[in-house]
Amino acid sequence: MKKRSISIHGHATSVALEPEFWVEIDRIAKVYGMSVSALIRTLDDERLMSSPEQGLASYLRVFVLKQARQPTD
């Protein structure tokens, strides 16, 4: 597991994910033209609205999996 510290709406938090997930999150953030922090803030906002009982790390893993399953052009 690799931990990264990020700020979400002014609150510092740490997220622990396997390095492979961080590689994909970095890649996806670049594709979206966002910083990793901005991407995670956006995803955390979505998580809080759709499934607040799910932890952030779990939500990020599922997001990466869904992105991987999307067909490419």
pLDDT tens-place string over residues 13-43: 999 999 999 999 999 999 999 999 999 999 9
Predicted structure pTM score: 0.91
Read off the tokens for 42.
């956006």
pLDDT tens-place string over residues 35-68: 999 999 999 999 999 999 999 999 999 999 999 9
Residue 61 near residue 24, CB atoms below 8 Å: no
Distance in Å from the first CA to the final CA of the chain: 32
Q: Which residues pair with 2 in a beta bridge?
A: 17
Alpha carbons within 13 A on the beta-carbon side of 35 = 6
